[in-house]
């Protein structure tokens, strides 16, 4: 790298390409972390799936990002100043992926917002398929006084016994999370389309199954 008579630096092609490559790697890493958070509440599972399925996808994403950065660098007349914005964007993507996929954020977006005031010990689990959607299981505790409001706001109806059938929420709950809604027998069962709620007899321990699988085409 040399300098012009006016003092500005002349960037060699190889120097410029190194910065473009570094910027593309940083942004691709941010996309990778974001998608890992988005895939599953279990971050390590998301990383493993992305590493397996992204062998082809992420290099292509990196090439597209590098091409975009190249165009931006041509417009700006230099590439060195792009590295720091790329790093910041990668950090923001990762932080945003974590923030919107926290159990409480998922609960608000998928189940109820605002959540019951007494909500505690919230845990979220998911079963995901890129082609067929996903299923969610939320486990949490609430005060018994919040239970009637929860049932009402979710539009659930008491049901005994569980409805069986390959596409029923009860059967899909058994398949996805190995939980039998009819066992133990003293669980109370509440249902709505694509939603199933299991409550302990004292209405303090709650499990909500959300069926978000795509229905098979007729």
Cα gap 24→62, rounded to integer Å:
6
Cα gap 104→119, rounded to integer Å:
10
For residue 181, the model assigns a pLDDT of: 67
Helix runs in 82-160, H state only: 83-100, 103-110, 147-154
What DSSP designation does 144 have? G
User: Among 16, 17, 29, 38, which Cα is nearest to 89's?
Assistant: 29
| Backbone torsions φ then ψ of 206, nearest 5 degrees | -125, 140
For residue 131, the model assigns a pLDDT of: 63
pLDDT in tens, 30-54: 999 999 999 888 889 888 988 887 7
Cα gap 65→93, rounded to integer Å:
14
pLDDT in tens, 107-137: 999 999 999 999 999 999 988 776 667 889 9
Confidence of residue 102 (pLDDT cuts 50, 70, 90): very high
**pLDDT higher than 90, residue 104:** yes
């Amino acid at each position: 790298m040399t300098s012009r008579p006016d003092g500005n630096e002349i960037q060699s092609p190889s120097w410029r390409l190194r910065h473009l490559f570094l910027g593309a790697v940083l942004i691709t890493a941010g996309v990778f972390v974001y998608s890992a958070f988005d895939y599953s509440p279990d971050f390590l599972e998301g990383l493993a799936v992305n590493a397996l399925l992204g062998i082809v996808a992420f290099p292509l994403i990196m090439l597209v990002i590098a091409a975009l950065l190249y165009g931006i660098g041509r417009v700006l007349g230099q590439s060195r100043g792009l590295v720091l914005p790329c790093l910041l964007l990668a950090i923001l993507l990762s932080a945003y992926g974590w923030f919107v996929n926290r159990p409480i954020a998922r609960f608000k977006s998928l189940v109820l917002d605002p959540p019951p005031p007494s909500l505690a010990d919230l845990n979220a689990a998911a079963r995901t398929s890129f082609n067929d959607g996903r299923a969610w299981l939320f486990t949490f505790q609430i005060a018994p006084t919040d239970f009637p409001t929860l049932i009402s706001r979710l539009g659930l109806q008491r049901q005994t016994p569980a409805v069986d059938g390959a596409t029923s929420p009860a059967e899909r709950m058994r398949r996805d999370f190995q939980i039998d809604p009819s066992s133990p027998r003293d669980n109370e069962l509440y249902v709505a389309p694509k939603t199933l709620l299991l409550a302990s007899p004292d209405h303090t321990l709650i499990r909500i199954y959300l069926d978000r699988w795509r229905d098979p085409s007729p």
